[in-house]
Homo-oligomer: A and B are copies of this chain.
Amino acid sequence: MSILPKALEKTIDAFGSLPGVGPRTAERYAYWALKNNKKYALTIADALESIHDSIKVCPKTFALIDSNLEISPLYTDTSRDKTIVAVVAEPFDIVALEKIGVFHGTYHVLGGLISPIDGISPEALHIPELLKRIDEDSVKEIILATNASVEGETTAMYIQQQIENKDITLTRLARGLPIGVDLEYADHITLQRALEGRTNV
């Protein structure tokens, strides 16, 4: 005999499929959904039901956009500079950069980073579309805004090879000490990069 009602077990199982959610957390979420006003559970249900149909990928920048739009507003916005392109791995990286509010170029989402271990080859990423944009929009600068990881470096190197014959400035985000972190707690590689990239005061 099952101890819990079927609908509750079903909800616990469903929540358990979320990333990083174990059985106890899933139980907590399900019990919360049941104990609280019905409208909270229905709000989540409603949002999840429409998420796939209401969102599409911009065919130009590969950012996520409302399905009623043709192209990302971050690209069509005439106040933004199309000749400067920040290349990011995932759509959410755009949010992180937009929050700072100082970048006024456009974005290009690769859809991942080159990772032979995970079977992600350059062909799986939106690099050909980036090369096409370079010609179409007469791009002057490409900012590689990728993670400071092996995959990020590999992808940066690959893109560099692809555009070495073009007249483009290729930059990448500075590596160094994060603000607020004590020097003594910084890891070996970060400190090495901070030293290599030291600037005049």
Binding site for B on A (CB under 8 A): 1, 3-8, 10-11, 13-15, 17-20, 25, 27-34, 38, 40-52, 54-55, 64-67, 73-74, 77, 91-92, 94-95, 98
Q: Closest CB of chain B to A42's CB: distance in Å?
A: 7
Copies in the complex: 2
Contact between chains at A6 and B64 (CB < 8 Å): no
Quick check: A7 and B51 within 8 Å, CB to CB?
yes
In the bound complex, do residue A55 and residue B17 qualify as a contact, i.e. CB atoms below 8 Å apart?
Answer: no
Contact of A98 among B3, B17, B18, B77 (CB under 8 A): B3
**Cβ A4 vs Cβ B95 within 8 A:** yes
In angstroms, Cα B101 to Cα A48, docked, is: 37
- The interface residues of chain B lying within 8 Å CB-to-CB of A41 are 48-49, 51-52
User: A8's contact among B4, B6, B43, B55, by CB below 8 Å, is which?
Assistant: B55
Given contacts A18-B32, A31-B91, 17 further A-B contacts (CB under 8 A): A3-B95, A4-B95, A5-B55, A7-B50, A8-B51, A14-B44, A18-B44, A19-B28, A19-B32, A33-B51, A34-B52, A34-B64, A41-B49, A41-B52, A44-B44, A44-B45, A45-B48
